Amino acid sequence: MAMAAKKAKGDDWFSSLDAELEKKTREIIEDVGEQNVARLELNKTLIEDFWKVWKRFNKINVHFALEPSYTNWGVFPDTFPDGDWHWRPGFNPAAVQTVQLLDRSMDQGRVGDALKVNYVEVDGKVHLRVTFEYSEGEHYYKYSGWKRSWTIHTLYDQPLDKTNVDDLHRLFADLVRVWYESHLRRARDVLVKYLKTTFEKVETFNQ
């Protein structure tokens, strides 16, 4: 009888835990599902937006690398790059962690100038973070030799569920306008000055 009582107690303990875990499973699956839906729509918008920017710069022979590459997400049955296109079957926008435009111009130290959109976790919540990073040249360090110095400005950082596409579009429009002008004028300092005076949140690292 004592063993049966102990077993019953154990069953009660596990039943309680099992119910708790089942509830948590449903909550997390629901949360992840909502995040995936949000990311799918947002990433489709971001990729389409960055593709338009890529094409605009391409018209003045400024070559950007786009991540994810258009070969992964796009099918271009017509004239490339300005013809109609459609999403590649099997491509899952929700799985994309980073959308970025990387400047590949060799002049004025622009190689590596990059507009990046990343999904990051902050205090247990998924955030959408937009940054712009660029190199400020190489510096010599006594013990480690020559290192390239990088600066990263945070342009936008909001929880995924509070991300506003209109705010992103205003941000992109202002930045792209200056970035484009800096290329036309062949004056990278126009872009760097804009970033330094507009976005105070900044970090640096050496590589």
In a domain, 56, yes or no: yes
Domain holding 162, by residue range, is 42-206
**pLDDT tops 70 at residue 137:** no
Q: Helix 165-184 to helix 2-58 angle, to the nearest 10 degrees?
A: 40
Residue 163 is classified by DSSP as -
Q: Which residues pair with 102 in a beta bridge?
A: 65, 114
**pLDDT tops 80 at residue 190:** yes
Convert the pLDDT of each residue in 79-99 to its tens digit: 999 999 999 999 999 999 999
Residues 6+ apart with CB under 8 A from 194: 175, 178
The pLDDT score that the predictor gives to residue 203 is 86
In a domain, 8, yes or no: no
In a domain, 10, yes or no: no
In a domain, 178, yes or no: yes
Cβ-contact 127, 157 below 8 angstroms? yes
**CA-based nearest residue to 166, from 49, 55, 75:** 49
In a domain, 151, yes or no: yes
**CA-based nearest residue to 130, from 182, 175, 190:** 175
